[in-house]
Amino acid sequence: MDQPIRVLVAKPGLDGHDRGAKVVAAALRDAGMEVIYGGLHQTPEAIAEMAVQEDVEVVGLSVLSGAHMHQFPRVVELLAAAGAGHVLVTGGGIIPAEDMAELARRGTGRLFGPGATLRELVDYIREEVGRRRTAARSD
């Protein structure tokens, strides 16, 4: 039996609109994942620390404030510096498509904008984590 996927769900920065983050956390739990809910108003440093201590395979960030070009790369950078560069950084919010592409170039995984379904997110996480686990095993 495969180990449950551990995911950190958090909101970086000052925005408090957590409807999406909470819905995603509930959905990931219902999909059999262990969700560490990191909460609101987190700094990228605190998010990276939580990700390391909890040894998560996935960090999911919800960013609606327009500050995504600053916050996603910062978390990716901090995780790499802490030796946790293998962690999948995904998430969603109000992020234009061209920004998603740029963020992917800077190290995030796929990001999910308005209208994305929970199903898509769950499937993506399962597939991507599965892929990374297999790759790690054959190292």
Partner 1 sequence: MTSRTTAPASLFDRWSEAWSKAGQRDAAFETVSSAPVRPLVTPQDVAGTDWERDIGFPGQFPYTRGPYVSMYRGKLWTMRQFSGFGSASDTNARYKYLLEHGQDGLSVAFDLPTLMGYDADHPRSAGEVGRCGVAVSSLRDMEVLFDGIALKDITTSMTINSPAAIIWAMYLVTAQKQGARLDQLGGTTQNDILKEYIAQKEYIFPPQPSMRLVVDTMEFAARHVPRWHAISVSGYHIREAGSTAAQELAFTLADGFAYVEAALARGLQVDEFAPRLSFFFNSHVDFFEEIAKFRAARRIWARRMRDRYGARDARSQTLRFHTQTAGCSLTAQQPLNNIVRTTWEALAGVLGGTQSLHTNSMDETLALPTELAVKVALRTQQLIAYESGVANTIDPLAGSWFVEDLTNRMEAEANAIFARIDELGGVVPALEQGWFQREIGKAAYKYQRELEAGRQVIVGVNKFVEEDDADQKLEVLKITEQTEKDCVAGLAALRRERSEAKVRAALERIRGDAGSSVNLMPAFMQAAESYATLGEMVDVLRGAFGTWREPSVF
Partner 2 sequence: MTVAATSGLVARVRAGEELACARLMSLAERGDPRFGALHDGFFRELGRARRVGITGPPGAGKSTLVESLALHWRGAGRTLGIVAVDPTSPFSGGALLGDRVRMGRLALDKGVFIRSMATRGVFGGLARATDDVVDVLDLSGRDTLLIETVGVGQSEVDIARSADLTVVVLHPGGGDTIQAMKAGLMEVADLYLVNKSDLPGLDRLVQQLQDILELREIPPGERPPILTSCASEGRGVAELATALDALLEARARDGRLARRRSENFDRRVRRLVDGRLRHDVWEAEGLGTLLSARVAQGLPQPAYGLSDEILSLYRNRRTDGDPR
Is 118 near partner 2 (CB under 8 A)? no
Compute the C-alpha angle 77/45/124, nearest 5°: 60
Is 112 near partner 1 (CB under 8 A)? no
Cβ closest to partner 2, residue 28 vs residue 64: 28
Task: Give phi and psi for 112, each to the nearest 5.
Answer: -120, 120
Is 89 near partner 2 (CB under 8 A)? no
Q: How many other C-beta atoms can be found within 10 angstroms of the C-beta atom of residue 113?
A: 13
Distance CA 47, CA 98 (A): 25
Give min distance, CB of 127 to partner 1, in A. 18
> Which amino acid is residue 20, in one-letter code?
G
Give min distance, CB of 129 to partner 2, in A. 14
Residue appearing with tokens 């939580």:
50
Distance CA 128, CA 139 (A): 17
List 46, 52, 65, 80, residue binding partner 1 (CB under 8 A): 65
13 makes contact, choosing from partner 2, partner 1, none, with CB < 5 to 8 Å by partner type, with partner 1
Which residues contact partner 1 by CB under 8 A? 13-19, 22-23, 25-27, 37, 39-41, 43, 65-67, 69-71, 94, 96, 113-115, 117-119
